[in-house]
Amino acid sequence: MKLASLKNGKRDGALIVVSRDLTRAVAADDIAPTLQAAIENWQQVVPALQARSDALNAGTAAGAFAFDQTKVASPLPRAYQWLDGSAYLSHVELVRKARGADMPKSFLDDPLMYQGSSDYFTGPHDPVLVESEDWGVDLEAELAIITDDVPMLTKQDDAKRHIKLLMLVNDISLRHIIPAELNKGFGFLNGKGVTAFSPVAVTPDELGDAWNGSKVSLPLTVNINGEKLGAPLAGEDVYFEFPKLISHAAKTRTLGAGTVIGSGTISNHDRTRGFCCISEKRALEVVEHGEAKTSFFRFGDRVRVEMFDTSGASIFGAIDNEIRPYAS
């Protein structure tokens, strides 16, 4: 089942069901008005949503219309919680190596994770608005899950069943703002700008054999202005899988239904797979050539993030954001 939120002038959009091949859609706001409402009542609404999805895929859904990826908001246009992990330590290692820092051993025991801003998510085809190119605008391409209610102290083994939906993420990171902010010791605030998600969120069964209950074994493809930045394998080198990220977040509190948890930038030790952020490419340039050659985003640049199944079909639709100046 694939779900999306049609822009309708309201903050949370209107829930729609999208066909497996992403060509058709049908309204579902009579079942649950928004995706947030659906996730809060997941067990109750799934049968009706699944029936509508089945009818849509069979070509028998009344009121079906052409699906346009540019007409939707992020699946949750805003959320009550967005937590972003750093599950791929090869990302952490490389970025630290470029600045001459080792990775602390403690990073192997306990996931890095920060509380991100979730009051407004940028749409998958919306522009990313920044004041200045000097902010050092970068992407971080990731996978994310949406959970239902997770009790405090949920263990890793019990965490799997709380994963209800998956999405792609473009977590915009402002590389020239982050260092001073992290030095203050309280984590990210200004340094993580907006975050955009894929046009659709999918139930785990849509991934077939590529989903083992904990991780997705497919490449994540990133293009900038039509040129490939990389296609690292999301199933390789993932040190902390999603159930571990959930149990870490729930150590001292419940997680409310609709909590979004990101994997962090997908990254492989095999650098020939390319990159899911510009920063890693620059870090490798520093390590290999002594200086970074690739620049961060300029106004007018476009970044595209997409995941294809083994037959070449897009699973989540594409995130396709253009970097533009903010006009206040």
Residues 28-47 that bind a second copy (CB under 8 A): 40
Rounded to whole angstroms, how far apart are CA atoms 22 and 4? 11
Q: Which of 24, 33, 80, 271 binds a second copy (CB under 8 A)?
A: 80
Least separation in angstroms between residue 47's CB and a second copy is 22
Q: Which is nearer to a second copy, 188 or 275 (CB)?
A: 188
Q: Distance between CA atoms of 72 and 6, rounded to whole angstroms?
A: 4
**CB-based burial label for 169 (10 Å; 0-12, 13-18, 19+):** buried
DSSP-assigned states of every residue in 245-296 = HHHHHTSSS-B-TT-EEE--S---S-GGGB-SSHHHHHHHHHHHHSS--S--
**Per rule CB under 8 A, is residue 182 in the interface with a second copy?**
yes
Q: State in Å, rounded, how far the first CA of the chain is from the last one.
A: 39
CB of 9 to a second copy, least distance (A): 13
Half-sphere exposure of 161 (CA within 13 A, CB side): 6
The residue within the footprint of a second copy, chosen from 67, 88, 188, 240 (CB under 8 A), is: 188
Cβ atoms of 175 and 296 closer than 8 Å:
yes
Which of 14, 87, 130, 168 binds a second copy (CB under 8 A)? It is 130
Q: Which of the residues 132 through 171 are near a second copy (CB under 8 A)?
A: 135, 151-153
The structure tokens listed for 12 are 């949370």
Q: Which of 132, 186, 143 has the alpha carbon at shortest distance from 306? A: 143
Alpha helices in the chain (DSSP H): 35-40, 42-58, 89-98, 156-159, 178-183, 242-249, 278-289
Among residues 17, 28, 73, 83, which is the contact residue for a second copy, using CB under 8 A? 83
Footprint of a second copy on 91-110 (CB under 8 A): 104, 106-107, 110
Q: Which of 94, 165, 194, 202 binds a second copy (CB under 8 A)?
A: 194
**Which string of b and e fits 286-306 if b means at least 16 CB within 10 Å?**
beeeeebeeebbeeebebbbb
Which helix (H) or strand (E) is 222 found in, with range? strand 220-224
Residue written as token pair 């594409």? 318
Minimum distance between the CB of residue 98 and a second copy, rounded to whole angstroms?
A: 16
Which residues neighbour 180 within 8 Å (Cβ) at sequence distance 6 or greater? Answer: none
Closer CB to a second copy, 80 or 239, in the complex: 80
Number of residues forming the site for a second copy (CB under 8 A): 55
Residue 60 beta carbon to a second copy: minimum distance, rounded to whole angstroms: 35
**Among 45-53, 116-124, 284-292, 306-314, the segment contacting a second copy (CB under 8 A):** 116-124
Among residue numbers 217 through 256, which ones bind a second copy (CB under 8 A)? Answer: 248-249, 251-256
Q: How far is the CB of 120 from a second copy (least distance, A)?
A: 5
Q: How far is the CB of 326 from a second copy (least distance, A)?
A: 6
- CA 144/CA 155 separation, integer angstroms: 19
Which of the residues 273 through 312 are near a second copy (CB under 8 A)? none
Which residues sit at the interface with a second copy, rule CB under 8 A?
11, 40, 78-81, 83, 86, 104, 106-107, 110, 112-120, 129-131, 135, 151-153, 174, 177, 180, 182-191, 193-194, 248-249, 251-256, 258-259, 326, 328
